[in-house]
Amino acid sequence: MTEKRPLRRHSFLLTLWEEAGPYPNGPPVWRASLEDAWTAERYGFKNLRELTRFLEQWTTPSSSQPAEKE
């Protein structure tokens, strides 16, 4: 990210969708993406655990930019 993000507030557009799981007749898998409302940068997540980790890192003051762009 080239611009410095605000320290106390940031806006993302969250998109969630369900995909078939890796096993026949297995449970579905939830995927997610976040789009930065200010820069339009997109971040993709293969599961909700990755999304949660991204948000935890994003809100930690000393963290660097987490996750890969979509």
Residue 63 belongs to some domain of the structure: no
Residue 16 belongs to some domain of the structure: yes
Residue 31 belongs to some domain of the structure: yes
Domain count across the chain:
1
Contact 58, 46 (CB under 8 A): no
Residue 47 belongs to some domain of the structure: yes
| Alpha-carbon gap, residue 43 to 33, rounded angstroms | 5
Q: Write out the residue range of the structural domain in which residue 49 sits.
A: 12-20+27-58
Instruction: Decide: helix, strand or coil at residue 42.
Output: strand
Per DSSP (E only), the strands in the chain are: 12-19, 29-36, 42-45
Residue 49 belongs to some domain of the structure: yes
pTM over 0.85: no
Residue 35 belongs to some domain of the structure: yes
pLDDT, tens digit, 9 for 90 and up, residues 4-62: 655 577 899 999 999 988 888 888 899 999 999 989 999 999 999 999 999 999 888 76
Residue 5 belongs to some domain of the structure: no
Which one-letter DSSP state was computed for residue 49? H
Residue 62: the pLDDT is 64
Contact 38, 3 (CB under 8 A): yes
